[in-house]
């Protein structure tokens, strides 16, 4: 493959149009071409590596044909309209399947689709089953202008696709933590609110707040790059412990949050707290050094009249108590009584 063909194909593939569904604007161009030139067949053909694929067509059943021995292949080799008055007597095409067999093409006129930069990505063609030797320069100009319109449509389609992609990307970034790829604070609060509003009777919602113990020491001794790497690894371990229906978010710094929108029992939440501590706590290799890492976890369960903000604050308060109790542990906040569960010895109930 020569460099020109490579560049031409790259431009065609950038349009991301091959094998897409029919679209009205392109179909109208083929229809107009067939009516203007009074031909039974018209195609808007895009030249792939080994085939011509029809983005729009009139009078043709198939969606593609091989490039070998095709009229369109000759068209994309030049910058001007290519005309064959009678294919039966043209040695280049007399044996071509579309000439020797149905639909028995005789006349062909094709204008190259010339993309910005002069790359010819396809052709707009009109074909007849009768020979024609009256195709004028004026008609060639009309066909060229229609081909230029086809390129403008391809460019506009490409810009729209890129705008859509960027819009979706911006919307995602607005709700995603850029470092870890987790949901951010805004997204977490939205999901927590929605979970509370749609909670099923008899089911609770569990919210967790987690942060790393002595995370500042990692940044101070190994640098922020190592700290970022640690946060990414922690995010991966947390993600591995939850269900697809749950949500993990990074609220900021080294603080994470988890939402269980359908928590069947109190024990389910506490079991997850245990698993999180077991999964995240351990030794990490950062900048070639082995660094011990531990987390503290606070958990809160929903109750009557508890909104998203209150539930998250309860989980955060539980996290504060876990840190006050010596870190590397969890605490559960009971929203029903707004009190901390206590053990028989009078201490706070912990893991």
Quick check: is 79 catalytic? no
Q: Cα torsion for 69, 73, 74, 77, to the nearest 10°?
A: -150
Task: Mention every residue, 6+ apart, whose C-beta is less than 8 A from residue 103.
Answer: 40, 41, 59, 60, 127, 129
CB of 339 within 8 A of CB of 332?
A: no
Given 177, 211, 246, 254, the catalytic residue: 254
CA distance 235 to 244: 15
Which residues, at least 6 apart from 125, have a Cβ–Cβ distance to it below 8 Å? 33, 42, 43, 45, 71, 72, 75, 108, 109, 110, 111
Q: Tokens standing for 110?
A: 């094709």
In sequence order, which residues have a C-beta less than 8 Å from that of residue 50 and are 6 or more positions away?
Answer: 66, 67
Torsion-angle region of residue 304: left (phi > 0), alpha (psi -120 to 50) or beta? beta
CA distances from 95 to 63, 67, 102, 165, 233 (A): 21, 14, 12, 46, 64
Which residue numbers are catalytic? 254
């Amino acid at each position: 493959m020569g460099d020109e063909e490579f560049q031409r194909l790259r431009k065609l593939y950038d349009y991301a149009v091959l094998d897409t569904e029919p679209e009205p604007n392109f179909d109208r161009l083929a229809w107009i071409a067939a009516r203007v030139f009074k031909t039974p067949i018209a195609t808007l053909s895009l030249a792939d590596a080994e085939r011509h694929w029809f983005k729009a067509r009139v009078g043709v059943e198939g969606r593609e044909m091989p490039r070998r021995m095709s009229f369109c292949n000759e068209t994309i080799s030049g910058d001007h309209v290519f005309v064959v008055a009678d294919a039966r007597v043209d040695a280049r095409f007399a044996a071509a399947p579309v000439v020797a067999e149905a639909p028995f093409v005789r006349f062909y006129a094709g204008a190259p689709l010339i993309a910005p930069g002069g790359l010819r990505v396809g052709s707009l063609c009109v074909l007849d089953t009768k020979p024609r030797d009256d195709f004028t320069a004026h008609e060639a100009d009309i066909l060229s202008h229609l081909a230029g319109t086809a390129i403008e449509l391809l460019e506009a389609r490409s810009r729209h696709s890129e705008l859509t992609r960027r819009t979706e990307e911006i919307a995602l970034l607005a709700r995603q933590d850029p470092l870890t790829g987790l949901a951010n604070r805004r997204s977490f609060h939205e999901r927590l609110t929605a979970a509370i509003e749609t909670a099923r009777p008899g089911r609770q919602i569990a919210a967790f707040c987690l942060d790393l113990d002595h995370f500042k020491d990692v940044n101070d001794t190994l640098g922020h790059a190592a700290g970022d790497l640690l946060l990414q690894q922690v995010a991966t371990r947390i993600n591995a412990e939850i269900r697809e229906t749950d949500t993990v978010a990074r609220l900021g710094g080294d603080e994470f949050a988890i939402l269980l929108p359908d928590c069947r029992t109190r024990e389910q939440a506490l079991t997850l707290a245990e698993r999180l501590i077991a999964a995240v706590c351990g030794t990490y290799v950062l900048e070639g050094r082995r660094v011990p890492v531990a987390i503290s976890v606070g958990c809160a369960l929903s109750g009557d009249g508890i909104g998203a903000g209150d539930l998250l604050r309860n989980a955060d308060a539980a996290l504060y108590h876990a840190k006050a109790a010596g870190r590397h542990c969890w605490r559960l906040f009971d929203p029903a009584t707004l009190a901390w569960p206590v053990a028989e010895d009078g201490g706070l109930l912990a893991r």
